[in-house]
């Protein structure tokens, strides 16, 4: 019988997992065990602290519903989502292509189709703006018929999913670019918003003296055959939290500023913001969706 | 605005957590973030794998009930529980004192009181045995009136809690030692059993080609004023899984072997097993409960 000690326990666990059939699962779980054990040894985790951690993770899991994904939120506020996003971006994204951002937990398939120039907001409460631009390849050629999904909060900082009613689809839409890859749509200027602070992740963020806010942004997913799916977001540079996003999603190249009457605005009576998206060529291992519709992550049965 | 990259993301997260008021929480969360990020970078975690991980943790959390603690089970099969147990044992346990083991998820407060010589089994189905011995201090002096909690599975390998009925309390009991610290009680020989394999942790263990079994054992908690609480378990040396416990709980010094008519057996008509427990003096920071009644870990409200 092996008498385990503080160091040999790790080896014993790795040995017991050594027959894992899937080599990638084995690699991931071996690294996970090593890092979790190193963490516990480094901080000299006590039984009481371990139990608190178990209670915290249990509460995170129990907070998940088809409309809310508290584990993604935890990953977000610990910077893990952004890290995974950056690693994906470093593999196969063309240098000239638009940087990516987090998909987040509010993307939904099959948003309402919107004609070019249409509005994604059913009842405008905030400032109406027009977002316009062109989808191109790295050489600058327009991508005809590229499909764009956009989604955002309402003027109170809430996504439709937060209504917890699957029949509500609002502040989101799908549009198809024209033959030159050009697009424009109307929306209301989103506001910065707090992550949900009424769950265990919010409690942690509060204990960390963090404000819990994300700067105002519009999520964008661009897809076209032959091109790598682009998941990104446009961040409003005038938001007070543009430099301190609680989920670390902002990149300088994704910051937009509003300029009324900007050249090329197809609806010049509205304040317009131009942003052009550049797609990478399609590559293996694309699908950088760092986020998910929460209902897809609920265990079945 | 800071443009984050694969390495600087970690620094940005640590900076945002730097104002955490509780210094210990800050220390633990900083180490957690560093290790989680190092893990993700080491295995080059992809968005798809990250999403699988989120789905797995969500399923673990959703599997928890007042009768089942899947996160403790996860910690157990990854050897984290044992590691925390060993670290606690290395702090303040007297060299001569009995080694400790995992509390596990099946301990319950206020088990039925049993007179010395009584049985903890309401309906004996397996082989009846007597466990006897003495509780002493490191100098070998009996600890008068020490209180002993014992709990185990039935002859089918199930704990009472697995009936999911809080009114069922069986295969467990509390006894009080005599003036010399001596005790004896009757039970049935427990059997080795599989951890619950019908949840996400069981699925992982199966993917790792592990058998999922724990060797037969009896849990023991000994408490007496002036002494450090002893949480341990006695493992049956003739169990086929004594060298490959799925949760890494066995220590050589805790292995018992059955010997009928062993000297000093107060009930010599039954097979007897003697085990003496040695308590450490009380110390600060005791309470090495690596485990918990699952109902205590459910979020409230």
Inter-axis angle of helices B80-89 and B70-77, to 10 degrees? Answer: 80
Nearest to B209 among A1, A19, A62 (CB): A19
3-state secondary structure of A84: helix
The distance from CA A100 to its chain's CA centroid, rounded to whole angstroms, is 9
The encoded tokens of residue A7 equal 């160091």
Exposed e or buried b for every residue in B241-277, given b needs 16+ CB within 10 A?
bbebbbbbbbbeebbbeeeeeeeebeeeebbbbbbeb
Of B204, B224, B253, whose CA–CA distance to B59 is shortest? B204
Kindly state whether residue A34 falls inside one of the protein's structural domains. no
Mean pLDDT for all residues in chain B: 93
3-state percent breakdown (helix, strand, coil) of chain B, nearest 5: 30, 20, 50
- Pull the structure tokens for residue B301: 């409200």
CB pairs under 8 A between A and B: 268
Residue by residue, DSSP assigns B184-219 as: EEEEE----EEPP-SSHHHHHHHHTT---EE--EEE
Model confidence band, residue B163 (pLDDT cutoffs 50, 70, 90): confident
| Confidence grade of residue B111 (pLDDT, cut at 50, 70, 90) | very high
Among candidates B4, B30, B31, B18, which has minimal Cα distance to A84?
A: B4
Which of B80, B101, B231 to mutate to test binding with chain A, by most A CBs within 10 Å of its CB? Answer: B80
Residue A16 counted as domain residue: no
Task: For residue B220, tell me if it sits in a domain.
Answer: yes
Query: Could you tell me if B72 and B259 are in contact, meaning their C-beta atoms sit under 8 angstroms apart?
Result: no
Task: At B7, list the tokens.
Answer: 């390495």
| Range of the structural domain that residue B213 is part of | 70-294
B54·A63 Cβ contact <8 A: no
Residue A101 resides in a domain? yes
Residue A181 placed within a domain: yes
Position A59 in a domain:
no
Is A42 inside any structural domain? no
ipTM of the complex: 0.94
Distance from CA of A289 to the nearest CA of B (A): 6
Residue B47 to chain A, least CA–CA distance (Å): 5
Q: Give pLDDT, residue B165.
A: 86
Q: Indicate the helix (H) or strand (E) that contains B129.
A: strand B128-136
In eight-state DSSP terms, residue A113 is B
Tokens of A27: 């690699």
Per-residue pLDDT tens over the stretch A155-204: 888 999 888 888 889 999 999 999 999 999 999 999 999 999 999 999 99
Is residue B2 in a domain?
no
Q: Considering only alpha carbons, which residue of chain B is nearest residue A40?
A: B84
- Which residues in chain B (36-65) have CB-CB distances under 8 A to chain A? 36-51, 54-55, 57-64
Query: Looking at residue B260, what is its pLDDT?
Result: 58
CATH of the domain at A214: 2.60.130.10
Residue B268, Cα to own-chain centre: how many angstroms? Answer: 31
Kindly report the average pLDDT of chain A as a whole number.
93
Tens-place pLDDT, residues B53-100: 999 999 999 999 999 999 999 999 999 999 999 999 998 889 999 999
The number of distinct structural domains making up chain A is 1
Contacts with A, B 181-220, CB within 8 Å: 200, 204, 207-210
Q: Tell me whether strands A255-256 and B213-214 are parallel, antiparallel or unpaired.
A: unpaired
The per-residue pLDDT for A246 is 97
Owner of token pair 């506020």: A77
Q: Residue ranges of chain A with pLDDT lower than 50?
A: 301
């Amino acid at each position: 019988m092996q008498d385990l000690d503080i160091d040999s326990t790790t080896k014993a666990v790795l040995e017991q997992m050594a027959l894992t059939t899937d080599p990638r699962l084995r690699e991931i779980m071996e690294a996970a065990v090593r890092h979790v054990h190193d963490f516990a040894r480094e901080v000299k985790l006590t039984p009481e602290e371990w139990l608190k951690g178990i209670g915290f993770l249990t509460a995170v899991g129990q907070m998940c519903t088809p409309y809310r994904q508290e584990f993604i939120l935890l990953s977000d506020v610990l910077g893990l989502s952004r890290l995974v996003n950056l690693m994906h971006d470093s593999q196969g994204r063309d240098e000239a292509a638009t940087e990516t951002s987090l998909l987040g937990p509010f993307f939904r398939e099959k948003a309402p189709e919107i004609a070019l120039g249409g509005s994604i907001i059913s009842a405008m409460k905030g400032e109406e703006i027009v977002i316009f631009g062109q989808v191109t390849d790295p050489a600058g050629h327009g991508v005809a018929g590229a499909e764009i999904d956009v989604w955002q909060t309402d003027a109170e900082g809430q996504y439709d999913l937060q209504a917890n009613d699957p029949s509500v689809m609002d502040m989101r839409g799908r549009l198809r670019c024209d033959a030159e890859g050009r697009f424009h749509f109307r929306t209301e200027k989103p506001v910065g918003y707090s992550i949900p602070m009424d769950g265990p992740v919010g409690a942690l963020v509060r204990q960390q003296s963090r404000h819990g806010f994300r700067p105002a942004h519009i999520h964008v997913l661009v897809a076209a055959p032959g091109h790598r799916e682009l998941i990104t977001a446009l961040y409003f540079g005038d938001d007070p939290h543009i430099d301190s996003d609680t989920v670390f999603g902002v990149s300088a190249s994704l910051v937009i500023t509003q300029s009324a009457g900007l050249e090329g605005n197809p609806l010049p009576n509205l304040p317009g913001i131009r942003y052009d998206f550049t797609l990478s060529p399609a590559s293996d291992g694309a699908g950088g969706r760092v986020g998910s519709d929460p209902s897809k992550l609920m265990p079945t049965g």
